[in-house]
Amino acid sequence: MKILVCMKHVPDMESKFKIAADGRWYDGGDLAWRINEYDEYAVEQAVRLKEQLGNSDITVLSIGPERVKEAMKKALAMGCDRGVHVLDDRPSDRDAMAIATIIAAFARGRNFDCIFTGMQSQDRGSGQVGILVGEMLGLPAVSTIVDFSCNGDNRYTVKRELEGGVRAVVEVRGPALFTCQLGLNTPRYPTLPNIMKAKKKELLTVPVTELAGTGNVQDTVQLFFPEKKGGGLLLEGEIPELADKLIAILKEKTTVLA
C-alpha cells in the first residue's frame, strides 16, 4: 500500500510572537518550531497502518523553507520511509487553496491508496487543506477522525468527532483521505536507533515552482494582537505572596470561601 502523510512545521504556540515587518504574518525569526500537533497524529496513524498491513511505503510531504527538514527527519524516525520537501521560502503567502493545489499536483498520478493530514494547522487554523486535496484528487475525504480502522480489502471504518463528544461512524472504500483530530492515537517518540536509521532515508527536495498552480483566492490584509479586554488582574511576584493575594481576592469577590 502506498501512503502519503502531509505535515506542516509550526511555531511552538507558547512562543512570544512578533508581527512581521509587512504586518501580514508573524516574524519567524526567533521562534522554536515543531511538527503541527494534528499532523503528528497523522504520521502515527500512517505508521500504524503500515505496521498492520506490512509491505507498505510511507511518503511524508512538507512545504516550507529549509528548516522543515528537521521536522521531516522526526517523521522519518517515527517510521515514514521517504520524505518529499517542497522547498518554498514563504509558504505563509499561499492560502489553503494554493497549498492544496501543490500537494494534489504532487500526489496526482502517484496512486496513493491512503492519505493522512491533520485536521488543521495550529497557526493558520483554516482546516481546509486536507479536504481540498481529497476533492482535487477525486477521493473520498473524511475530516476530524478520532478512530481509524482498515478492514483489509481497502475498506476503512472511521469515527468523526462531533460536538458534545458524539461520534459519527463512517465507512469509505480506498483510495481515500483522512484528516486527523487530537487524540486519534498516541504518537510515538522516535528511538535512538530509529533516529540513526532515519538519517539514511531518502529526503528529496522539490522546488515549489514545479508544483504550484494558480494564485490565491484570498488575501491576508493584516495580522494583529487582539485588544486586551482589560478588567483582568495580573498577579506577579513571590509564590507565598501570590497565594495570599489570591485568597484575599477570592474572599472579596466570590462566595466560595464563605
- Rounded Cα distance, 150 and 19, in Å: 44
List CB contacts of 35: < 8 A, sequence separation 6 or more. Answer: 7, 8, 9, 10, 43, 71, 74, 75
| Partner from ligand FAD, another protein, none binding residue 242, C-beta < 5-8 Å depending on class | another protein
| Partner from another protein, ligand FAD, none binding residue 125, C-beta < 5-8 Å depending on class | another protein
| Partner from ligand FAD, another protein, none binding residue 153, C-beta < 5-8 Å depending on class | none
H/E segment holding residue 100: helix 96-107
Q: Give residues 127-186 in contact with ligand FAD (rule: CB under 6 A).
A: 182
Report in angstroms how near the CB of residue 254 gets to ligand FAD at its nearest. Answer: 21
Q: Give residues 7-46 in contact with ligand FAD (rule: CB under 6 A).
A: 13-14
| Partner from another protein, ligand FAD, none binding residue 258, C-beta < 5-8 Å depending on class | none
Report in angstroms how near the CB of residue 194 gets to another protein at its nearest. Answer: 22
| Partner from another protein, ligand FAD, none binding residue 33, C-beta < 5-8 Å depending on class | none
At 207, the amino acid letter reads P
Provide long-range contacts, Cβ within 8 A and 24+ apart, for 65-71. 65/89, 65/90, 65/91, 67/9, 67/33, 68/9, 69/203, 70/9, 70/33, 71/7, 71/9, 71/33, 71/34, 71/35
**Closer CB to another protein, 138 or 207, in the complex:** 138
Report in angstroms how near the CB of residue 140 gets to another protein at its nearest. Answer: 4
| Partner from ligand FAD, another protein, none binding residue 248, C-beta < 5-8 Å depending on class | none
CA-based max dimension of the chain: 69
List CB contacts of 115: < 8 A, sequence separation 6 or more. Answer: 3, 4, 5, 6, 107, 133, 134, 137, 139, 175, 176, 177, 178
Examine residue 248 and tell whether it contacts ligand FAD (CB under 6 A): no
**Closer CB to ligand FAD, 14 or 238, in the complex:** 14
**Closer CB to ligand FAD, 168 or 182, in the complex:** 182
Report in angstroms how near the CB of residue 72 gets to another protein at its nearest. Answer: 22
**Closer CB to another protein, 141 or 198, in the complex:** 141
**DSSP letter string over 141-171?**
EEEEEEEEEE-STTEEEEEEE-GGG-EEEEE
**Closer CB to another protein, 193 or 252, in the complex:** 252
What are the residues binding ligand FAD (CB under 6 A)? 13-14, 182
